[in-house]
Amino acid sequence: MQRSGVALLAGLMVLAGCSGAASQDGGHTATSVAATFTSPPAWPGHAWKRNGQELPSTEIVAAAGPEHCGWESATFLTIAWPLGTQAQTADRARQYIRDPNGVVSQALHARLSFHATLPANAQPTGYWYGAVQLYASASDVSQSVYLVVGHDVERWPRSDPMTLCS
């Protein structure tokens, strides 16, 4: 990994208050979005791919929230914005949170949908982890993203501003 990527990773870790060792894909195959994210890995989380290439966490990262804040059951998905770029600062990224237990925010929990319908204008972003594909809808991308495995669709709400742990 390049030096600038390491610096950003450290910065995102501080912003999210996360700590922990790297986690490997390990040939993971999921039958649902929940099977992948019910027990999210510690930061830096799952290795995502695009165009068959593993991506740095400066582009996309999904990991458990920080344990010291009691958020480890939530998955924090941080994506460089615009899509396909590398975020060197937090203001060049968007954060979406899967908070099934409402430990991070009741408002985010209320906007999370485990049985979402993919909007007609949703398009695959090209990002994937195992069987999970990330979709975005032009009419909804500022508010949420969609994670899809086959016919299983979850809508994860955007946290704007980013949710941070102190």
Q: Does the pLDDT value for residue 152 go beyond 60? A: yes
E-strand ranges in 1-143 read 49-50, 53-54, 60-64, 75-80, 93-98, 122-129, 132-137
Task: Work out the pLDDT band at 142, boundaries 50, 70, 90.
Answer: confident
Q: How far apart are CA 5 and CA 140, in angstroms?
A: 29
Contact 95, 162 (CB under 8 A): yes
Q: Mean pLDDT over all residues of the chain?
A: 84
For β-strands 122-129 and 49-50, DSSP reports them as: antiparallel
Residue type, 32: S
Partners of 35 in beta bridges? none
Mean of pLDDT values over 54-77 = 95
Mean of pLDDT values over 104-125 = 96
Q: How far apart are CA 7 and CA 4, in angstroms?
A: 5
Backbone angles phi, psi at 144, to 5 degrees: -165, 165
Q: Looking at residue 122, what is its pLDDT?
A: 96
Residue type, 151: H
Mean of pLDDT values over 119-129 = 96
14-44 confidence digits (pLDDT tens): 334 333 333 333 445 568 999 999 999 998 8
